[in-house]
Amino acid sequence: MNETSSSTVTEAQVYEALKQCYDPEIPVNVVDLGLIYDVKIIDAWVGVKMTLTTPGCGMSGMIAQDVKNRVMRLPGVKEADVRIVWEPAWTPERMSPEAKKRLGFGA
């Protein structure tokens, strides 16, 4: 690849974009829910490793596609890959304090 992008996406930009992605059944974004496990950026490629609240989530394909679409809209991103993993398993402890408060989890 001999194309040099003057606009390199940052991890902070990716996380900010992902705050626009929601599980349709939960009114909290995927970042604050603690579903994003890792973000990797290599040149114009962004990889996102994420999980869901339950392995049986019927919306998994839609949520993963939404995450990919949001990342692809960022300037400098030419390719995005979203992987859903189940290890480590998601627990409510992964949520941000704001998400716990919004969903009624005691502090």
On whether residue 106 sits in a domain, the answer given is no
CATH number for 83: 3.30.300.130
Q: Determine the pLDDT at residue 24.
A: 85
Convert the pLDDT of each residue in 7-33 to its tens digit: 689 999 999 999 999 988 888 999 999
- Render pLDDT for 48-103 as a digit per residue (tens, 0 to 9): 999 999 888 888 899 999 999 999 999 999 999 999 999 999 999 999 999 999 99
Q: Which residue segment(s) compose the domain that 50 sits in?
A: 11-90
Using DSSP, state whether 99 is helix, strand or coil.
Answer: helix
pLDDT at 2 exceeding the cut of 50: no
Domain assignment of residue 98, yes or no = no
- Does any domain span residue 101? no
Number of domains in the chain: 1
pTM of the shown model: 0.88
Residue 96 forms part of a structural domain? no
